[in-house]
C-alpha cells in the first residue's frame, strides 16, 4: 500500500470525499486530491504535507509514509443520538430573532466545534440521561441588521 492509499484509507473513515477533508484540514482541494491520488506520480506525499495530514488524522507519520506499525485506530464517530444532542445545543445557540436564512451560518460553527471536540476526545459519549455540554468558547454570532450595528 502506498502513502497515497493510506491517506485515502484514513480519510475515508472520517470524510466521505477528499473535498470535505481538504476543507477541514485547510488545504486547497486540488493539492489534497493530488496527494491522495498521486496524480503527479511522485510516488508519495511531500514530507511537510504528510506531517500535517498525520497530525490532523491522528496517525503516526511512520505509518502514513511507510506503513510501519499497526494500522491506527481512529476515534469513534458520533452516533445518531450524539448528533441529536449536538444539534440541540446548536439550536439553543441560535438567537430567537434569527431568520431561517441565518441558521446555517449561525449553527454550523457550533456544530463543527462540537464535532471536532467529540473526535478529539474532549467530549465523551454521554451516559443515559446525561447531555453533551456546549463549549462556551464555541459561540455563534448573533444575527444583526446593518441598522443595529454600532
For residue 50, give the nearest of 13, 3, 84 by alpha carbon.
3
Euclidean distance between CA atoms 104 and 85, whole angstroms: 17
Q: Is 13 helix (H, G, I), strand (E, B) or coil?
A: coil
Residue 18's φ and ψ, nearest 5 degrees, are: -65, -35
C-alpha cell at 139: 459561540
Give pLDDT, residue 132: 55
pTM, 2 dp: 0.52
Give pLDDT, residue 28: 94
Euclidean distance between CA atoms 35 and 4, whole angstroms: 6
C-alpha cell at 79: 452516533
Give pLDDT, residue 23: 92
Q: Which domains does the chain have, with CATH numbers?
A: 3-66 (1.10.260), 80-144 (no CATH)
Helix, strand, coil share (%) of the chain residues, nearest 5: 55, 0, 45
pLDDT along the chain (150 residues), means of 10: 90 86 93 87 84 91 88 71 83 86 86 80 59 48 46
Euclidean distance between CA atoms 76 and 47, whole angstroms: 27
Amino acid at each position: 500500500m502506498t502513502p497515497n492509499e493510506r491517506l485515502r484509507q484514513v480519510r475515508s473513515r472520517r470524510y466521505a470525499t477528499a473535498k470535505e477533508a481538504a476543507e477541514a484540514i485547510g488545504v486547497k482541494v486540488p493539492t489534497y486530491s493530488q496527494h491522495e491520488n498521486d496524480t503527479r506520480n511522485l510516488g508519495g506525499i511531500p514530507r511537510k504535507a504528510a506531517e500535517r495530514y498525520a497530525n490532523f488524522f491522528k496517525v503516526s507519520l511512520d505509518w502514513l509514509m511507510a506503513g510501519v506499525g499497526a494500522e491506527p485506530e481512529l476515534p469513534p464517530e458520533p452516533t445518531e443520538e450524539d448528533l441529536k444532542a449536538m444539534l440541540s445545543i446548536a439550536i439553543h445557540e441560535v438567537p430567537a430573532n434569527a431568520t431561517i436564512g441565518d441558521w446555517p451560518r449561525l449553527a454550523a460553527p457550533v456544530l463543527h466545534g462540537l464535532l471536532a471536540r467529540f473526535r478529539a476526545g474532549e467530549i465523551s459519549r454521554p451516559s443515559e440521561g446525561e447531555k453533551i455540554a456546549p463549549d462556551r468558547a464555541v459561540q455563534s454570532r448573533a444575527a444583526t441588521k446593518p441598522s443595529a450595528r454600532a
